[in-house]
Homo-oligomer: A and B are copies of this chain.
Amino acid sequence: MDNRRRKFWGWGWEDEGPTAEQQGKIADLLKERFALRSVDVRTPPRIEELSLPDCRITPPDSLASICSAAAYDRAGHTYGKSFRDVVRAFRRNYDHPPDLVAFPRDENQIIDLLDWCTRDGVVAIPYGGGSSVAGGIEPPADEYRPVVSIDLGGLDKVLEIDRVSRAARIQAGVYGPALEDQLRPHGYTLRHFPQSFEFSTLGGWIATRSGGHFATLYTHIDDFVESLRVITPTGIAESRRLPGSGAGPSPDRLFIGSEGILGIITEAWMRLQDRPRYRAAASVTFTSFQAGADAVRAIAQAGLYPSNCRLLDAGEAQIAGAGDGTRSVLLIAFESADHTLDAWMARAVECCRDHGGEVPQDAVKTVEKDEGARGGAAGAWRSSFVGAPYLRDALVAMGMISETFETAITWDRFPAFNAAVMGAAEKAVKEICGAGSVTCRFTHAYPDGPAPYYSIIAPSTPSDQLEQWSEIKAAASAAIIDNGGTITHHHAVGRDHRTWYDQQRPDVFARALSAAKRELDPAGILNPGVLLGD
């Protein structure tokens, strides 16, 4: 990592994000867009302002040197990075920070930490990059036991590269950029680029079933896990490196998505990609979102496997600077380290035209360098994508509601589902905020359905920002669950999605998972309230 310091209260580096001047311009835009009389820009919290409750525990001597009770560390590990988290930070609400933050540098220290927690009844919350948007890393408000947040950032190395099988053994605490930096000299890439890429870790991606770069085929991190090493309170689980296996239920699949309730992932063998050499990209516009959705379905069912296949509705396209707000935009790209992609793109473009897509001649670019095709709508969308979390924090400071939610649904149900979810969200936004926008894009697409991703921006009453969002979130989530979707496609469950996750997952499965947890974590120290429990 850098010498720069991370914000303890929000996204990214302390010295990044919109400047005061930029914030003023954003405020002007908001005033115009939502007919607001004024927009106040509130000041983010400073550590000195916070009054954290006293730390209630003393670590064993052997662990003292890796444990911190510093206010910056405790405050920085209190919340994830959701809208709700940033609002609470602006409210200076740090009532439930972890008592300590531990920074282990090796597996033995992790084992010692879990032993200590088990022995003394201390809650252990595994912490990767802290980018959870689902309450996955916060000490529960109703938790009476002391809490230690275990920050895995010290386990940040690529340990081994197997060039023949194109795989690497990687420590789980490595952040996205540091991971890619270590692979690049060898000509490889993991090519897993969630929006949180800069401030999230391999272990966090695996524990939360992160969704990445590839819009089709290999959408979740799950697909790239060759084997896992997990430290549980009662033993270490290490699976074999296997390209495929049919020996019983997959051991890895139990831990992938377990969100820190079963153990701490310390290492994984990950399947790598050669760095792409060929790239073909196109921007296609549609008069309706559904027409674009039909084209995405055709492409997803054709066996073409584009790396990008992101459909933005008209509003989303406009916000991202990829359209004028009248048409939906489909960003489609193929990439390969092996072969040119003309045949692939030609057929994808045909699929788009079959469904009314307009493909201007200059909208198709085929290049021999990955970096070459980043202009136009795709480039605008990408830079907006990466900068979005900084912008979101600025919007929170201006008293706006700014948040996203996402799901997946089969194609047959998508039109009614989307109408119900958009309808519920728009109705709630209008009733609660008076104005606001709800937009939709597809982040990933499967042969049997899309993963729709919704973004909300709405003016709120600063004092009620949290409560207003809660109502909107509840309305949208109920619509998702009632209409057959999943409460999360790649944002994870955490604590915030429990109400709806509990309706979604089969009870029988929850009982099986609880039994597994009781077996591996008999003292119930690991991340209580996430996925399971009252």
Which residues from chain A sit less than 8 Å from chain B, CB to CB?
162-167, 208-211, 217, 219-220, 226, 230, 232, 234-251, 253-259, 262-263, 271, 274, 297, 301-305, 336-339, 342-344, 347, 408-412, 444, 446-451, 484-493, 497, 501, 504-509, 511-516, 518-520, 531
Contacts and interface: CB of A to CB of B under 8 A. Distances in A.
Copies in the complex: 2
Contacts of A304: 338-339
Given A343-B342, A447-B166, A501 B241 contact: no
B508 A243 contact: no
24 contacts: A162-B410, A164-B410, A219-B244, A220-B246, A235-B508, A236-B506, A239-B506, A240-B484, A240-B485, A242-B410, A243-B448, A243-B451, A244-B446, A246-B489, A246-B490, A246-B491, A247-B488, A247-B505, A248-B259, A250-B256, A251-B505, A274-B301, A304-B339, A339-B343
B254 A410 contact: no
A492 B531 CA distance: 30
Contacts of A297: 164
Contact of A501 (B247, B259, B486, B516): B247
Contact of A248 (B164, B166, B249, B258): B258
Given A338-B347, A519-B514, A210 B246 contact: yes
A480 to B, nearest CB: 11
Contacts of A505: 239, 247-248, 251
Nearest to A530: B248
Given A506-B238, A512-B519, A411 B164 contact: yes
A418 to B, nearest CB: 14
B491 A249 contact: no
Contacts of A302: 336, 338-339
B408 A243 contact: yes
